[in-house]
Amino acid sequence: MLTEAIATVESTGERWYEAELYRLKGELTLQQLKIENVKLKITETPHQAANPHAKAEECFLKAIAIAQRQQAKSLELRAVMSLVRLRQQQVTQDRSHTTQHEARIRLDEAYRMLAEIYNWFTEGFDTKDLQEAKALIEELRH
């Protein structure tokens, strides 16, 4: 359905929720990875899929760029939060010192993006998205 929605955006030019579609595509890519990992534990077959983290990150970055171009701050906030969560996960998963350091730098970059978009808002701090963003910012400060 998501692929069809993105195709419809392309064919009709109706781009109101294009950023959210790409964010959701990234989130679903990560969910698919979790499902595949469970299957791997059951079947013990080697994992041969393309790097789903990179695919998800590409979707999140595209969603951010689209939201910025459209000046859709709420959609940008959601996409940046998804990117931050992905990069947090990468920091905890990377084993070598070098890759963990690189992942940490990328997380710091995403944190700055999140703080910047969060600070843009002047109202609506009781909404779920802004409450989650605030909690994520506070978590990253520690």
Q: Note the pLDDT of residue 137.
A: 97
Nearest to 107 by CA among 120, 93, 121, 119: 93
What residues contact residue 120 under an 8 Å CB cut-off, 6+ apart? 73
For 11, 58, 65, 128, 141, the CA distances from 76, given in Å and listed in that order, are 23, 14, 8, 15, 21
Structurally, how many domains does the chain consist of? 1
Nearest to 108 by CA among 95, 91, 120, 92: 91
pLDDT in tens, 40-99: 565 554 444 568 899 999 999 999 999 999 999 999 999 999 999 999 998 888 666 778
Q: What is the pTM assigned to this prediction?
A: 0.85
Is the predicted pLDDT of residue 38 greater than 60, yes or no?
A: yes
Residue ranges making up the domain that contains 30: 2-141
Between the two ends of the chain, the Cα-to-Cα distance in Å is 39
Report, as an integer, the average pLDDT of 23-39.
84
